[in-house]
Amino acid sequence: EGTNAMLELIEPYKGQALEIWQTVYAWLLSPTFWAQIAGVVVAWFVAKIVAGQLRKRIPLLSTEPKEGKLLFLREMLYKARGLVQPLVLVAALAIVIAILDAVTGSSWLVKIAQGLALVLSLKTAIELFIPLVGLQKIVKLVVLPSELMMVFGVFDAFTAFLENDAVLQLGNIRLSALFLIKGAIFGAIIFWIGRQSNTAGQTAIHKQETLDLGMKSLISKLFQILLFIVMGIIFLQVLGVDLTA
C-alpha cells in the first residue's frame, strides 16, 4: 500500500520530469550548448588573468594609500580592486555573447552566466563599500534576490503576483504582499538610518559647551521629534502613500 501511495504521489509529475530530462538530454547532445560552456570557462580564465594584471600594473590598485592628497578617493579606488575581476568577467562574457550570437545564433547560457556575474559584482560592492554588517544584510536582502529574478526573467511576474494575487483584505483596506514586503524592508532601512542619525545628532548636541544642561535636553528632544517626523514622511513616501489626500 505504501508503494502504491508513493506511485500515486509521483504520477502527476512524471510527465514534467520526462520533459525536463528530454530538454537536458538535447542540450547535452547540442554542440551549441557545449560551445556556450566553453565560452563561459574561457571568459572566466581570461577575466582572472586580466584582473590580476590590472591589479598589479595600476598603482591605484596595487598599493594601499596611507597618506597624501585625495586620500579618501584613493582609498575608495583601492577598495574597488575587489570589483575588478567580476567586472572584467562581465565584459568578457559580453564579448563571448556577441561572438556566439554571430556564429551559432544562441547565447542564452552565457547571458545567464553574465547575469550571475553581475549579481556577484553587486554582492562584492556591497561588502566593500558598506562597512556596517547590519546594513549590508538589509541591502543584500533587497538587491540580490531582485537581481537574481531579473537574471532569470521572472522579476516582473513575481512582483505582479505579489501586487495582484497575494492580497490581504481587511474590510475596505486592501494590503498586497508587495506593499507589506516594501514596508518591512524600507522600514528597517529607514529605522536604521534614523537611529544612526539620532545617535550622531545627540552626540553633536551634547558636545556644545556653550549650552547649559537644560537647553541641551530641550534641543535634544526637539531634534528627536523632528527626526521622527522626517523619517515618517520619507517612509510613507517610499510606500507610495499620498500625503496630500
Strands (E), 126-241: 167-170, 173-176
Q: pLDDT band for position 91 (50/70/90)? A: very high
Checking if the pLDDT of 142 tops 70, the result is yes
Average of per-residue pLDDT values in the chain: 80
For the stretch 19-53, pLDDT in tens is: 776 777 777 778 888 998 999 999 999 999 999 89
DSSP 90-155: HHHHHHHHHHHHHHTS--HHHHHHHHHHHHHHHHHHHHHH---HHHHHHHHHHHHHHHHHHHTT-H
Smallest CA-to-CA distance from 49 within 98, 88, 99 is with 88
Query: pTM of this prediction?
Result: 0.65
For the stretch 196-228, pLDDT in tens is: 788 888 888 888 777 778 888 888 889 888 988
Identify the pLDDT of residue 8.
Answer: 62
For the stretch 179-198, pLDDT in tens is: 777 777 777 778 878 887 88
Instruction: Count the residues in the chain.
Output: 245
3-class DSSP state of 184? helix
